[in-house]
């Protein structure tokens, strides 16, 4: 009879690596107004001291017009702009994209992969900010602890420019 010998490091290399997931759903409400423009929207994770831990998404008008529309209006996302947006060279690969239509917009992030990266354990808030031309501005925060010990579904609701913001965490 033949004996098989395995070392502990060899077993660890063959075992599947479990990574945490962070899934976000941002509801952009359908507004019945005379002049509707899709909102500029920023999604990020901030630490307890309100510094940015990860930039997850920025949706804006990407076609530049003669008047400089597009990046010109990003400062209207005031909190995002002050907390790091102004330092980002646009477009940011994997983060920036075109404005989104009304409806549920979903984003998925995996631990260890950009833009989430290796987020250290701790208390955070998912922050979503939206600003719309000829409209308003709104910020929604969803506090959470990372990494999640068990699957969690967290949410918050906007009142004008944003609808429901849902955060699903999976260990």
- Give the predicted TM-score (pTM) of the model: 0.86
- 59 contacts 100 by C-beta, under 8 angstroms: yes
The rounded distance, in Å, linking the Cα atoms of 18 and 21 is 10
How far apart (Å, rounded) are the C-alpha atoms in residues 44 and 51? Answer: 10
Structure-token match 């917009």, residue found: 105
- Give the pair of three-digit tokens for residue 86: 């102004």
pLDDT band at 28 (very low <50, low <70, confident <90, very high): very high
- Two structure tokens written together for 93: 């690969």
d(CA 132, CA 29): 12
Pairing relationship of beta strands 52-59 and 137-146 according to DSSP bridges: unpaired
Residues 87 and 97: their CA atoms lie apart, in Å, by 17
CA distance 163 to 112: 29
Q: What is the pLDDT of residues 29-69, one digit of tens each?
A: 999 988 889 999 999 999 999 999 999 999 998 776 555 56
Report d(CA 89, CA 74) in Å as an integer. 12
Report which secondary-structure segment, H or E, holds 79: helix 78-82
Task: Identify the pLDDT of residue 93.
Answer: 87
């Amino acid at each position: 009879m033949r004996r098989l010998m395995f070392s502990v490091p060899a077993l660890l290399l063959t075992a599947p690596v479990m990574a945490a997931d962070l899934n976000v759903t941002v509801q952009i409400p359908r507004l019945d107004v005379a002049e509707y423009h899709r909102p500029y929207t920023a999604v990020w994770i901030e630490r307890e001291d309100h510094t940015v831990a990860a930039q997850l998404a920025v949706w804006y008008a990407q076609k530049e017009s003669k008047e400089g529309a597009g990046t010109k209006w990003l400062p209207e996302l005031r909190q995002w702009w002050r907390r790091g947006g102004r330092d980002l060279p646009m477009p940011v690969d994997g983060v920036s994209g075109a404005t989104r239509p009304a409806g549920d917009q979903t984003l998925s992030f995996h631990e260890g992969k950009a833009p989430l990266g290796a987020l250290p354990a701790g208390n955070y808030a998912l922050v979503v900010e939206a600003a719309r031309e000829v409209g308003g501005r709104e910020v929604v925060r969803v506090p959470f602890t990372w990494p999640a010990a068990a699957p969690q579904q967290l949410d918050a609701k906007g009142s004008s420019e944003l609808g429901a913001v849902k955060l699903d965490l999976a260990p």
